[in-house]
Structures are given as structure tokens and as C-alpha cells.
Amino acid sequence: MRIIDKQNLENIAAGAAVLGTGGGGDPHVGKLMAMAAIEKYGPVTLLSPQEVGDDDWVVSASMTGAPSILVEKIPSGTEVIRAFEAICEYSEKEIKAIYPIEIGGVNSIVPLVLGAITGLPVVDTDGIGRAFPELQMVTFHLAGLQSAPLSVADEKGNTLIVTGIDNQWNERIIRAALIAMGGSVMVCSNLMQGRVLKAEGIHHTLTLAEKIGETVHGLRHRNENPIAALVDVLEGKLLFEGKINNLLRRNAGGFTRGEVYFDGINRYQGKQAMISFQNEFLVATIDQQPVVTTPDLIMILDLETGFPITTEVLRYGNRAAIVAMPCDAKWRTEKGLQTAGPRYFGYDIDYIPLQV
């Protein structure tokens, strides 16, 4: 158990954006939300997973939708409270803690905002170990657990409770509804007891994000190569260094989708890289050969500062490193790859397990 203050928060936001692999929204938006909440309601308690009681009810809180819309439509904070109140009332459970459904810019921070407002602790465990675009892409789904009931709230005051027959139906229905609701909503889902979270979650990922954020922020003051330092803390691999020479990005089907193209620089001069994304970076190719695919993590980091560049802030001329990191072993199983491997997203390629 430890207290999350503004400095911890700043590091978590930066590190979560690195692990968010392009998705999860602009970390700056998330940070501003949480700073305001801590300012107003006081700091948040972070629990280690083992500190959660086996019988205690816990629920996730997250933003779902297109992150590029979120930047234009900053959540007011009231929608996450309404989503939380709706799931409490509907389930009639006394919820003891909140956890992040994924690690990604805004979605690592949303539970901390809710924790600050409600006074409930946040668990240092998430349901992916990275960020993924669809609601059923969580380790709980791999374990056969249902995400329903889910509560959904928008900034206008509309609230839904969704009880689909399976996790894919929840995704389909909520995606359709959130498009009608303006493109992004807050969701509480995967209400479960502590013993299940301990068995099926990915642990210590907020702390990992914080460590990554410390590295990113620390780099400002040193003369070190930022990319090498980050590859080291991520236990990842540098794939490419390049300059963005083309970007195709659109909002479609409730997601931010597109492709970003790089001309190689430094020792990658003369090579070309391309990354396809659907909220998150999903496939990286070098000279048209796939080199890393989902569910492994693909990150685009600013070459000078090491700061992550998310899908909605990518732009022509960015000089960046492409870095990869192996996903959690839960995603390398048959069901993991069926759920979030390259073929699920429509790419006609097999998963290439990243070796580091």
C-alpha cells in the first residue's frame, strides 16, 4: 500500500503512454484529469494485488472509444462517477477497490481519478498488461470470465447497463452505442472478487509504468541516449529509427485507424518502416516484411526525448524510434492469439513471437 501523489502520477501517465503502444489516449489529457482530482479530493492509495481481500469486490473503470476524439472532448470527471454509481446500484455489490482494465495513457489514469473522488484504493493490476482496442481483449476473457454487466456513461448524462450474452456482444453493442453517444464513453466492467483478479490479472503494471515514466522524465536532465535507456527498462528491442513521411488516419467504426510510414535515418538509412494501427499499433513492417505483430507491444518514441507518440498525435516529420516489447505470456496462448493476434484484426500474417 502506498500513496500516489502528483509526482507519481506524472510518471505513471508518461510510462503508461509508452506501454499504451499508441492507444489509450494522450497521456497529457489523463494527467490533467488526475491532477485536478487529486488537487480537489486528495491523494489516492495504490494497493498491491496481494493486499486485496479474496472476497472483496473490485471493478475496472476506463474510457472506451476513439482516442483522437477524446482529445477534443476531455472528460469532465462526472461521467466516470456516473458509470461507477450505475454499476454499484445495478450490481448491489459493495465495491472495495478499482483497477485499470488496461495500461495506456488515459486508461491507467481513469481509475486514479475515480479513486481520488470516491476515496477507494486502486489496485496495481490490470486486465491486459498493455492497451488493446476492443472490450473483450482482456485476460479475464481468456480465462472464460464474462465482462457483463457493464455500465456506460457519457459526458452528456446518458447511462446504459449492458448485459450481453458474451464478451464480443458487449463489445459490439457498446461500440454501436458509443458512436451514437459522441465517440467516447466511460465504462465500468469486469466486476469480480479479489481472488479472481489475483489469479487472472497482470500485476504491478502501474508500478512498471511509473518506473518507465521516471526514466522518461529523468532523461531530460541527463545526456544519455533516451531510446537505449528506455529499451533497457522495458526489457525490449529497438527495431527502427526514422522520420514519418506519410500518415493515413481516420475515425471509423468507433476507432482511430490508419497506417504510418517512416523513412529510415541513422543506421536505418535507406530502409522503410510502416506501422498499422487500430487505436493501438498492431503490426510493424520493415521493407514490407512484418517484424513485430500484436499481441507483442509496438511503441513509437520521440528520438530526442524518448516520449511516446500516440496514434492521435502522430504527424508528418516526427523523428522517432520504433521499439518493441514482448507481451505477457497469457497472450501467447492459442486463445490469446485468437483474441488479439494479427489475424483477428484482419492481417493475413501469423504472429511472430518477439525475441529479445
Prior bond of 353 cis (ω within 30°): no
Going residue by residue from 18 to 57, which x/- string records binding to a second copy, judged by CB under 8 A? ----------------------------------------
- 71 and 106 in contact (C-beta within 8 Å)? no
- 112 and 12 in contact (C-beta within 8 Å)? yes
Going residue by residue from 336 to 355, which x/- string records binding to a second copy, judged by CB under 8 A? --------------------
Please give the helix or strand (H or E) that residue 336 lies within, else none: helix 334-340
Give the nearer residue to a second copy in terms of CB position, either 1 or 165.
165
In 3D space, the residue among 28, 159, 133 whose CA is nearest the CA of residue 81 turns out to be 159
Question: In a 3-state reduction of DSSP, which class is residue 277?
Answer: strand
Question: In a 3-state reduction of DSSP, which class is residue 301?
Answer: strand
Would the CA dihedral through 137, 140, 142, 148 be positive or negative? negative
Give the nearer residue to a second copy in terms of CB position, either 111 or 149.
149
| Residue 225 Cβ vs a second copy, minimum distance, rounded to whole Å | 48
| Residue 175 Cβ vs a second copy, minimum distance, rounded to whole Å | 7
Give the nearer residue to a second copy in terms of CB position, either 64 or 285.
64
Give the nearer residue to a second copy in terms of CB position, either 160 or 309.
160
Contact call for residue 81 and a second copy (CB under 8 A): no
| Residue 174 Cβ vs a second copy, minimum distance, rounded to whole Å | 9
Q: How many residues bind a second copy (CB under 8 A)?
A: 21
**Looking at this protein, which amino acid is placed at residue 214?**
E
| Residue 185 Cβ vs a second copy, minimum distance, rounded to whole Å | 10
Residue 354 and residue 356: Cα distance in Å, rounded?
A: 6
Question: In a 3-state reduction of DSSP, which class is residue 249?
Answer: strand
**Angle of the 6-19 helix axis to the 205-219 helix axis, nearest 10:** 100
> Among residue numbers 150 through 209, which ones bind a second copy (CB under 8 A)?
156-165, 169, 172-173, 175-177, 179-181
| Residue 256 Cβ vs a second copy, minimum distance, rounded to whole Å | 19
- Enumerate binding residues for a second copy (CB under 8 A): 86, 90, 156-165, 169, 172-173, 175-177, 179-181
